[in-house]
């Protein structure tokens, strides 16, 4: 009679063995060592001199008092395939461990078999919410190795496009964050405004999401005729609507209760964990690579670095909302100051001959063919280059051995590092706060897992 | 070229890379001491840590006196107060690469070291939780090593010649 029961139990055992990640998972208290345990409870950072002190951790709690549960990898509020393992005492979170790798597609390995021209199509898929900035980082690293200058117009086009992309990325964040907190109308508004920007991307590059627009040597195409009007409309519309978001969210009591004072982070902790971007700025550290280590032409435009005070969820929200406004300010200056000239380098080493020449010149045709099949060779060397992505410092470490493909391509993904703050931010919070914490950290899993 | 901090251990080799950053080549014994001296010197953040497999390039350009090994660990430190970066390249070894962990200096290197372990098989001594992070636990091999082949999904055409 008991046979079906056994079978079910066996099946559960097989299933859990198949879906288990073993040692990567959150272990029971008695099955883990002191160092790891203190890291998982986030105690490491609260101690002087950053040394481990096991006595400050509540080790006495017996395992039958707490419960370890899985959140994700297919949970709608984890923004992709993030899996959180939570140890709960009733409704309160004792320990958290993010388990990642569910979207790992070996993009760094793929980057080693693609030429420098093709590489931009690869990196654009990492942080799929800010493709332009990924391509920019990759292209600038390759250009630094090549030692070529890009024309002035290409620099300003890149800057304008990356600011547009920053807005669209923050809008998706506003949308999903609103959705996580039950403000589902924010979801619709955020995506509606983003559509304006995506339509402009489509008009300029031919694609909406994975643009492959910024390439080593410049950008793929010049801006379309009448782009000033399009961009102005985008700026005006979104700027006006940020005040609607203010009305909808900023002052709303339910929203404020979920955000204000929840999951605070101190500047010390943020620096120790290597956290960058809005998370770091929310703690009061005015660190923005656009201002601190200017690249492109960010030293020629006026904008403010938005800084928070308390490092809580609400500060992170306010920083992102105000960064949309600052980006609009930069874009308006780009419209006024956009120089004329080439949109890509005229160095024949990296830039194919113009389409019209291919029809009449055999050499131009051969050159074009060689460039797109073999690619161009990059002098040996190694370079680390960082830009400010909507999520923080996006870095690209590139090693070249003199061939047409990078020998090693490493992308320092801001979300990957920021995600380490999860265990610290969630400790002691309630189960409901985990949703807001993951949301305000804003991880893009494509970038975390690469 | 920027000079090393006064607290840096003596004998650390430096060179100007292609980039404007200062680049140091400590030995494995000097590694942690050097990073500690940089941290005390105002480099508040360890932004990046990754491995490189130079299987085909033992002849790469290195300053005089650095013994090239197959694996290298590259650490990028950032000073917010000085607005400066520094890169540390430590030769990690050939067969069983192993370097000490930076976890006690910069807790944020925890995930990065796990990634370098997962993808290159570089061991980090005294790391609190050195497990795979991106690949499944039962995965064999370390995918970013140069002797690990690039995977390929055969294209499903009728007269497909099969995997190359």
Give the pLDDT band of residue A154 (cuts 50, 70, 90).
very high
Angle at B13 between CA B8 and CA B17, to 5 degrees: 110
Q: Which positions ≥6 away from A114 have C-beta within 8 Å?
A: A121, A122, A405
pLDDT of B9 reads 61
pLDDT exceeds 50 at position B164: no
Residue B46 near residue B109 (C-beta atoms within 8 A):
yes
Instruction: Tell me the whole-structure pTM to 2 decimals.
Output: 0.88
User: In 3D, which of A261, A276, A263 has the Cα closest to residue A96?
Assistant: A263
pLDDT tens digits, A241-267: 999 998 888 888 888 888 888 888 888
Distances (CA, A) of A263 to A108, A160, A175, A258, B57: 33, 34, 20, 10, 47
Confidence of residue B2 (pLDDT cuts 50, 70, 90): very low
Q: Mark yes or no for CB contact B17/A383 under 8 Å.
A: yes
Spell out which residues of chain B touch residue A22, defining contact as CB-CB under 8 Å: 131, 137-138
The pLDDT-based confidence of A52 (bands split at 50, 70, 90) is very low
| Phi and psi torsions of A100, nearest 5° | -120, 180
Give the residue on A whose Cα is nearest the Cα of B107. Answer: A273
Work out the percent of chain A whose per-residue pLDDT is above 70.
91
Does A391 have pLDDT greater than 50? yes
Q: Give the chain B residue whose CA is nearest to the CA of A289.
A: B83
Residue B83 pLDDT: 86
Phi and psi of B23, rounded to 5°? Answer: -125, 130
Is the separation of the CB atoms in A397 and A73 below 8 Å? no
For residues A371 and A373, what is the distance between their CA atoms, to the nearest angstrom? 6
Mutate to test the interface with B, among A274, A295, A420, A422 (most CBs of B within 10 A): A274
Q: What is the ipTM of this complex?
A: 0.85
Q: Quick one: closest CA in B to A448, which residue?
A: B134
- Substitution target from A408, A411, A448, A450 for chain B, most B beta carbons within 10 A: A408
Instruction: Provide the pLDDT confidence category of residue B67 given band limits of 50, 70 and 90.
Output: confident
Closest Cβ–Cβ partner in A38, A109, A272 for B108: A272
CB pairs under 8 A between A and B: 130
Contact (Cβ atoms closer than 8 angstroms) between residue A40 and residue A93: no
pLDDT at A106 over 90: no
Q: Which domains does chain B have, with CATH numbers?
A: 13-125 (3.30.460.80)
Residue of A nearest to B105 (CA): A50
Q: Tell me, rounded to whole angstroms, the distance of Cα B108 from its chain centroid.
A: 15
Q: In angstroms, what separates the C-alpha of A231 from chain B's closest C-alpha?
A: 33
Whose structure tokens read 């790469």?
B60
Is there a contact between A120 and A139 (Cβ–Cβ < 8 Å)? yes
Interchain contact, A272 vs B106, CB within 8 Å = yes
Tens-place pLDDT, residues A156-210: 999 999 999 999 999 999 999 988 888 888 999 999 999 999 999 999 999 988 8
Residue A3: left if φ>0, alpha if ψ -120 to 50, beta else—which one? alpha
Question: A24–B104: do the CB atoms touch at under 8 Å?
Answer: no
pLDDT band at B18 (very low <50, low <70, confident <90, very high): very low
List the domains of chain A with CATH numbers: 21-102+419-434 (no CATH), 107-418 (1.10.645.10)
pLDDT at B4: 57
| Whether A285 contacts A315, CB under 8 Å | no
Q: Which of A417, A423, A447, A448 to mutate to test the interface with B (most CBs of B within 10 A)?
A: A417
Distance in angstroms (rounded) separating the CA atoms of residues A394 and A413? 6
**Which of the pair, A173 or A74, is modelled with greater confidence?**
A173
HSE of A34 in the Cβ direction (CA atoms, 13 Å)? 10
With beta carbons under 8 A apart, name residues in chain B contacting A105.
none
Mean pLDDT value of segment A421-439: 86
Residues 3-32 of B with CB under 8 A from A: 17-19, 21
Residue that the structure tokens 């804003």 belong to: A442
For A116-152, b/e burial (b = at least 16 CB within 10 A) is bbbbbbbbbbbbbbbbbbbbbbbbbbbbbbbebebbe
Q: What pLDDT score was predicted for residue B6?
A: 53
pLDDT band per the 50, 70, 90 thresholds, residue B10? low
Band of pLDDT at residue A318, cut at 50, 70 and 90: very high
How many Å lie between the alpha carbon of A233 and the closest alpha carbon of chain B? 37
Query: Does position A104 have pLDDT exceeding 60, yes or no?
Result: yes
CA distance B110 to B130: 9
Q: What is the mean pLDDT of residues A379-387?
A: 89
Query: What value does the mean pLDDT take over residues A418-439?
Result: 87
Polymer length of chain A: 450
Neighboring chain A residues of B74 at a CB cutoff of 8 Å:
382, 384, 397, 410
A24-28, A71-75, A371-375, B121-125: range with lowest mean pLDDT: A24-28
Contact B137 A24 (CB under 8 A): yes
Q: Is the pLDDT of residue B105 over 80?
A: yes
Which residues on chain A are in Cβ contact (under 8 Å) with B105? 50
Task: Tell me the three-class secondary structure of chain B, residue by residue.
Answer: CCCCCCCCCCCCEEEECCCCCEEEECCHHHHHHHHHHHHHCCCCEEEEEEEEECCCCCCCCCCCCCCCCCEEEEEEEEECCCCEEEEEEEEEECCCCEEECCCCCCCCHHHHHHHHHHHHCCEEECCCCCCCCCCCCCCCCCCCCCCCCCCCCCCCCCCCCCCC
For residue B126, give the chain A residue with the closest CA: A35
Interface of B with A in 125-164 (CB under 8 A): 128-129, 131-138, 143-144, 150-151
**B135 and A101: CB-CB below 8 Å?**
yes
CA distances from residue A48 to A52, A53, A56, B78, B127 in whole angstroms, order as listed = 9, 9, 12, 22, 19
Q: Is the pLDDT assigned to residue A2 strictly greater than 70?
A: no
Contact (CB<8Å) B111/A417: yes
* pLDDT of res. A389: 92
Interface of B with A in 59-118 (CB under 8 A): 60-61, 74, 76, 80, 83, 85, 87, 104-112, 115
Please provide the average confidence, as pLDDT, over all residues in chain A.
86
Say what the pLDDT of residue B17 is: 43
CA-based nearest distance A91→chain B, Å: 27
């Amino acid at each position: 009679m008991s046979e079906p029961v056994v079978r079910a139990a066996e099946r559960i055992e097989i299933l859990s063995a198949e879906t288990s990640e073993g040692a990567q998972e959150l272990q029971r208290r008695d099955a883990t060592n002191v160092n790891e345990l203190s890291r998982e409870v986030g105690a490491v950072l609260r101690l002087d001199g950053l040394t481990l002190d096991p006595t400050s951790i509540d080790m006495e709690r017996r395992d039958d008092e707490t419960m370890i549960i899985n959140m994700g990898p297919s949970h709608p509020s984890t923004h992709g395939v993030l899996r959180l393992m939570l140890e709960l005492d009733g409704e309160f979170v004792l320990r958290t461990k993010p388990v990642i790798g569910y979207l790992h597609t070996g993009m760094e390995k793929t980057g080693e078999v693609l030429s420098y021209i093709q590489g931009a199509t690869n990196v654009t898929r990492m942080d799929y919410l800010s493709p332009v900035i990924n391509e920019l980082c990759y292209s600038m690293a390759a250009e630094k190795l090549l030692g070529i200058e890009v024309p002035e117009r290409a620099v300003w086009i890149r800057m304008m496009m990356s600011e547009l992309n920053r807005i669209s990325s923050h809008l998706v964040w506003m949308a999903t964050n609103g959705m996580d907190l039950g403000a589902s109308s924010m979801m619709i508004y955020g995506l509606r405004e983003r559509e304006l920007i995506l339509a402009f991307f489509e008009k300029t590059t031919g694609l909406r999401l994975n643009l492959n627009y910024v390439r080593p040597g410049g950008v793929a195409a010049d801006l379309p005729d009448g782009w000033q009007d399009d961009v102005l409309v985008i700026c005006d519309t979104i700027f006006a609507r940020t005040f609607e978001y203010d009305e909808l969210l900023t002052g709303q009591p339910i929203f404020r209760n979920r955000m204000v004072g929840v999951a605070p982070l101190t500047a010390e902790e943020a620096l120790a964990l290597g956290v960058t971007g809005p998370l770091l700025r929310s703690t009061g550290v005015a660190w923005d690579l656009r201002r601190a280590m200017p690249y492109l032409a960010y030293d020629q435009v006026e904008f403010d670095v938005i800084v928070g005070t308390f490092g809580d969820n609400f500060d992170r929200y306010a920083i992102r909302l105000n960064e949309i406004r600052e980006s609009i300010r930069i874009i308006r200056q780009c419209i006024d100051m956009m120089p004329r000239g080439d949109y890509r380098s005229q160095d024949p080493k990296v830039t194919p001959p113009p389409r019209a020449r291919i029809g009449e010149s055999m050499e131009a045709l051969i050159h074009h063919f060689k460039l797109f099949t073999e690619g161009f060779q990059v002098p040996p060397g190694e370079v680390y280059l960082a830009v400010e992505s909507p999520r923080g410092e996006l870095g690209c470490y590139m090693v070249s051995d003199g061939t047409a493909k990078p020998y090693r391509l490493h992308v320092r993904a801001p979300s990957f590092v920021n995600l380490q703050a999860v265990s610290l931010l969630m400790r002691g919070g309630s189960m409901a706060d985990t949703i807001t914490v993951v949301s305000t950290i804003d991880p893009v899993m494509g970038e975390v897992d690469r | 070229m920027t000079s090393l901090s006064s607290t840096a251990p003596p004998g650390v080799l430096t060179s100007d890379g292609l980039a404007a950053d200062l680049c140091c080549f400590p030995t494995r014994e000097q590694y942690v001491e050097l990073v500690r001296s940089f941290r005390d010197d105002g480099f508040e953040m360890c932004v990046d840590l990754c491995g490189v497999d130079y299987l085909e390039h033992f002849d790469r350009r290195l300053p005089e006196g650095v013994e090239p090994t197959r694996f290298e660990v590259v650490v990028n430190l950032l000073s917010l107060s000085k607005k400066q970066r520094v890169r540390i390249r430590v030769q990690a070894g050939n067969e069983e690469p192993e370097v000490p962990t930076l976890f006690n200096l910069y807790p944020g290197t925890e995930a990065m070291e796990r990634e370098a372990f997962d993808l290159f098989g570089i061991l980090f001594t005294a790391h609190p939780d050195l497990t795979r992070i991106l690949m499944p636990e039962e995965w064999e091999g370390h995918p970013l090593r140069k002797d690990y082949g690039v995977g390929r999904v055969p294209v499903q055409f009728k007269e497909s010649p099969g995997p190359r």
